[in-house]
């Protein structure tokens, strides 16, 4: 712990109300104090009683008492605070009073047996965190519950350090439990330079995703598959508390490869397992995020192209509208006057020019429901580059309303595996509106172990909720909402 944390651990309250609540002497306390002769002895034993009450420690030899406590206690006794100087001059009296106070307050001194019991008691907490202040606070609270006088801060620190060391060994044992020689060799190879690269395989699997492109998604899937090929147990990350797992992974991420090589085998392999579990979860998140951003870019590019085409064809469309307005006016006038409609058209423009303008209008015309979404098919080739591998990499689950969507994904997966060019005669029909309405009934976060929610965009409706689950080859990872 830092110096500031040591002071904070046994700090006295600063709030006046809290001081009064903790250090107000009761009638039995006052009667006990008045049994001692001399103002200095009464003040001294009252201050010691206050220290044992809270924070629960002994006032040290030649230690000046906390001034607010001294003033509060002396005011209740009607004694001047200066009487403390006379009491502090004789340490034997302080020890005698301490021996007298402990049985009266139901306290006992901290001993070696307490140290050993607390070391065992603290280990489960140390399995969850290595923060010294958190562990020290837990020890202090437990000592107060057991009515044991607090030892010096140095003893508490040593106790926490011992529990943390035991917990760390236990954590690494749990992480490496089930690893055989082949697993160990594969983990060690991660620390070696990758073929054709000056960087290690570990640095490669932890590479950032880059911009959302099909190449980036395929590269990230390759990294994820490299981790899966190690064949770590799906239970590896479930044996250790998530906080501890993330802490080991963060520390490993900031440690150089040559330093990891210097770790003893159990620690090195356990550290790599924790790092790979977190990296696998991160890669999964990033792959899905890249996919989502890429699909979003398809929508943006389609919309921009839609607007650009209209901007480029705007003058031609306007000319055609004005031309057909003149032709229409001529036809209306011809009917009202009983004249020939074809001659009326030829009075505006020749028949050859009119025929050509009709062909040009057909080229400018779009379907009745034309919108930017119809231009999404321009990006099919990009999607096709990674979607077969993407679908094979993950297993998906969904709420009952999206069952048809899952069947459609299974159909696409099978078509990709069979390299088929035709859709089956019977294929699932998807009601996106029904799936979209089901979103309101989907929980905000998953609690199913390694299950995540993935929102899939569709062309005309809201996103459909689909749960994503790692395949059986995957390493277990904390649940994440995506």
Q: 186-205, pLDDT tens digit by residue?
A: 999 999 998 888 899 999 99
Any idea of the CA torsion for 448, 452, 453, 455, to the nearest 10 degrees?
-160
Q: Are 409 and 436 in contact (CB under 8 A)?
A: no
Dihedral sign, Cα of residue 291, residue 293, residue 295, residue 301? negative
Per the document, the length of the chain is 482
Predicted pLDDT at 471: 36
DSSP code per residue over 209-266: --SS-HHHHHHHHHHHHHHHTT---TTGGGSS-HHHHHHHHHHHHTS-HHHHHHS-HH
Contacts of 304 (CB under 8 A, 6+ apart): none
The per-residue pLDDT for range 12-57, each reduced to its tens digit, is: 988 889 999 999 999 999 999 999 999 999 999 999 999 999 999 9
Q: What is the pLDDT of residues 225-249, one digit of tens each?
A: 999 999 988 788 888 888 889 999 9
**Where in the chain are the domains?**
3-105, 112-176, 297-376, 380-470
* 3 state SS of 444: coil
Nearest CA to 257 out of 198, 325, 343 is that of: 198
pLDDT digit string, tens, across residues 301-343: 988 888 887 777 777 877 888 888 888 888 888 888 888 888 8
Whether residue 475 has pLDDT greater than 80: no
pLDDT grade, residue 101 (50/70/90)? very high
Query: Rounded mean pLDDT of 98-117?
Result: 94
Residue scoring higher pLDDT (260 or 311): 260
Residues in Cβ contact with 357 at an 8 Å cutoff, skipping those fewer than 6 apart: 320, 323, 349
| Mutual angle of helices 242-253 and 265-337, in 10-degree steps | 90
CB 451 within 8 A of CB 468: yes
How many C-beta neighbours within 10 Å does residue 400 have? 8
Structure tokens at 388: 């077969």
**What are 399-432's pLDDT values in tens digits?**
888 888 888 888 888 888 888 777 666 666 655 4
Question: Reduced to 3 states, what is the DSSP secondary structure of residue 38?
Answer: coil
- pLDDT grade, residue 451 (50/70/90)? very low
Closest listed residue to residue 9, CA positions, set 151, 131, 157, 133: 133
Residue 470 has pLDDT above 60, yes or no: no
Mean of pLDDT values over 355-373: 74
């Amino acid at each position: 712990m830092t110096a500031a944390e040591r002071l904070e651990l046994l700090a006295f309250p600063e709030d006046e109300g809290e001081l009064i609540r903790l250090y107000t002497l009761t009638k039995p306390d006052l009667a006990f104090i008045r049994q001692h002769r001399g103002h200095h002895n009464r003040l001294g034993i009252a201050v010691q009683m206050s220290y044992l009450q809270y924070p629960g420690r002994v006032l040290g030899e030649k230690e000046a008492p906390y001034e607010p406590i001294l003033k509060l206690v002396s005011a209740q006794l009607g004694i001047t605070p200066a009487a403390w100087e006379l009491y502090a001059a004789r340490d034997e009296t302080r020890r005698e009073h301490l021996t007298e106070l402990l049985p009266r307050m139901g306290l006992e001194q901290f001993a070696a047996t307490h140290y050993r019991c607390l070391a065992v008691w603290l280990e489960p907490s140390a399995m969850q965190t290595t923060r010294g202040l958190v562990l020290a606070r837990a020890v202090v609270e437990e000592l107060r519950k057991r009515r044991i006088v607090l030892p010096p801060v140095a003893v508490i620190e040593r106790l926490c350090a011992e529990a943390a060391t035991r917990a760390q060994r236990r954590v690494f044992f749990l992480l490496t439990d089930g690893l055989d020689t082949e697993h160990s060799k594969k983990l060690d190879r991660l620390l070696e330079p990758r073929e054709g690269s000056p960087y290690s395989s570990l640095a490669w699997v932890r590479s950032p995703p880059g911009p959302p492109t099909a190449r980036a998604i395929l590269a990230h899937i390759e990294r994820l598959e490299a981790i899966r090929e190690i064949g770590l147990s799906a239970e590896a990350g479930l044996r250790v508390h998530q906080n501890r797992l993330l802490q080991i992974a963060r520390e490993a991420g900031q440690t150089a490869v040559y330093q990891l090589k210097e770790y003893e085998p159990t620690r090195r392999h356990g550290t790599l397992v924790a790092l790979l579990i977190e990296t696998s979860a991160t890669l999964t998140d990033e792959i899905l995020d890249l996919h989502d951003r890429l699909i979003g870019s398809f929508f943006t590019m389609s919309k921009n192209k839609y607007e650009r085409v209209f901007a480029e064809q705007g003058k031609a469309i306007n000319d055609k509208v004005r031309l057909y307005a003149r032709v229409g006016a001529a036809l209306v006038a011809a009917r009202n006057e009983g004249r020939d409609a074809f001659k009326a058209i030829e009075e505006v423009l020749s028949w050859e020019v009119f025929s050509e303008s009709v062909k040009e209008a057909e080229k400018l015309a779009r379907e009745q429901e034309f919108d930017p979404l119809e231009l999404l098919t321009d990006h099919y080739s990009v999607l096709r580059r990674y979607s077969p591998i993407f679908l094979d990499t993950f297993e998906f689950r969904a709420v009952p309303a999206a069952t048809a969507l899952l069947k459609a994904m299974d159909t696409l997966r099978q078509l990709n595996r069979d390299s088929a060019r035709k859709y089956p005669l019977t294929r699932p029909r998807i009601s996106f509106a029904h799936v979209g309405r089901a979103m309101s009934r989907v929980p905000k976060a998953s609690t199913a172990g390694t299950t995540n929610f993935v929102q899939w965009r569709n062309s005309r409706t809201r996103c459909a909720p689909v749960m994503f689950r790692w395949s059986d080859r995957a390493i277990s990872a904390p649940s994440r909402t995506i």
